[in-house]
Homo-oligomer: A and B are copies of this chain.
Amino acid sequence: MATLHHSPFCPNSRFIRLVLAEMGMEPSLVEERAWERRDAFLLINPAGTTPVLVEQTGLAVPGAGIIAEYLDETRGLGLSGRRLLPEATPDRVEVRRLLDWFLVKFHAEVTGYLVLEKISKRFMTSADGGGPPDMNAIRAARINVRYHLQYIGYLMERRRWIAGDHLTYADLAAAAHLSCVDYLGDVPWDESEIARDWYARLKSRPSFRALLADRVPGMAPADHYADLDF
């Protein structure tokens, strides 16, 4: 059995949890607090970031984008029609473009700020950078999330799923990131009804269940967070 080193509200870890569930894999989960820079964790990923997938053979695969490529190469063909990185070249480019959009760009502009300021800082010591949230960072993230939601709406007016006709890594990455923001009540769903409908479809998938059950200790989710018909 594989092991996933993750953090429950790290959006890139959530993406890989969704991917593994869609592939029918049930890894054992090890929770990491990346800011503690645990020695044994740095040995398997010198960058010190989550997620990291460790195979039973000992092979460590660090980073959400790299795990996605790895899983496609080692398990993708077994999924036939349900492959999450499609086969045709232009489709692969589009899925990877949007995967990078959410794992890197959305993370830098939205989720990174919100998860650090509102969640991680509650558990960090002051030496680690803990303390009260930086309201400027939170405000910036709340402004940025609006145009991302409009962009999802724009794509979904033209397509069945974010990157084309089929569910792909791009949908799972976008939904994983939005799920963290939604827990915090910071998704302006009124911005795009079509984006909201797309997210409701994702959220109803069995792969989403475990994510919706996670809780930040001492911090309840937004009311509609786990409601499948919000």
A interface list, Cβ under 8 A from B: 46-47, 59-63, 65-66, 69-70, 73-74, 89-90, 92-93, 96-97, 100-101, 104-105, 151
Contact = CB atoms under 8 A, between A and B. Distances in A.
B93 A61 contact: yes
Contacts of A46: 151
Please tell me how many copies of the chain the complex holds.
2
A47 B105 contact: yes
A190 to B, nearest CB: 23
Contacts of A90: 59
A61 B90 CA distance: 9
6 contacts: A47-B105, A63-B100, A65-B65, A66-B97, A66-B100, A74-B89
Contact of A96 (B69, B96, B101): B69
B66 A69 contact: no
B47 A93 contact: no
Contacts of A93: 59-61, 66, 70
Nearest to A66: B96
Contacts of A69: 69, 92, 96
Top 4 nearest A-B pairs (CB, nearest first) are A66-B96, A61-B93, A63-B100, A62-B97
Given A65-B65, A105-B47, A73 B96 contact: no
Nearest to A69: B96
A96 B68 CA distance: 11
Contacts of A100: 63, 65-66
Nearest to A49: B105
A25 to B, nearest CB: 16
